[in-house]
Amino acid sequence: MTRRFLPLFIFLAVLALLAIGLTLNPRELPSALIGKNVPEFTLPALAHDQPEVSTSDFNGQVWVMNVWASWCVACQDEHDLLLSWRLPEGVSLVGLNYKDHPKAARDWLRDMGGDPYTAVAVDTVGKTGIDLGIYGVPETFVIDRNGKILLRHTGALSQQSMLAKVMPAVNEALKP
């Protein structure tokens, strides 16, 4: 009798797996770095008046790192939001310009209405991006005072994602 219903059981099991798969958000990418230290880097700075940007520049601080590029269409979508974003006192917004030409990045920031970043590191070859597990730009990370990554947000930031995900992570990092 069980043999008779075996194809039905298999069909129902496959159907259940497909149903579970349809509920998953493909934009939610797990990061093996959550709860771990941000990979150390020292990279050239995009600004001419700053020689380099390093993770050690932000020791003891809460900071948000936004990975972007001038060739990234989604980065254009979030740029106005970054320009108007007011982070709490002492929290830096750091840019990581990913696989881009520095002149193109500087021109892009100028043409897009300004530079919202405290500092911008230039990752021309993408090694730091690989260390961070960058899937694509833009991506945003919240890093606590101890250098631990608390949040990774993939894709362009929106008002909703900033309020629902990024700011709660920043506020959590600011707790003593």
Domains by residue range for the chain, with CATH: 26-174 (3.40.30.10)
Three-state SS for 148?
strand
Three-state SS for 53?
strand
8 to 2, 4, 144, 160: CA distances (angstroms): 10, 8, 51, 43
Mean pLDDT per 10-residue segment, the chain (176 residues): 71 70 56 85 93 95 98 95 94 97 97 96 95 93 97 95 96 93
Which residues partner with 149 through β-bridges?
Answer: 34, 143
Q: For residue 175, what pLDDT is reported? A: 92
Q: For residue 173, what pLDDT is reported? A: 96
Q: For residue 115, what pLDDT is reported? A: 96
Q: For residue 4, what pLDDT is reported? A: 76
Both structure tokens of 113: 């209405």
Beta strands in the chain (DSSP E): 42-44, 52-54, 63-68, 92-98, 119-123, 139-143, 149-154
Cβ contact 156:163 at 8 Å:
no
Q: For residue 30, what pLDDT is reported? A: 56
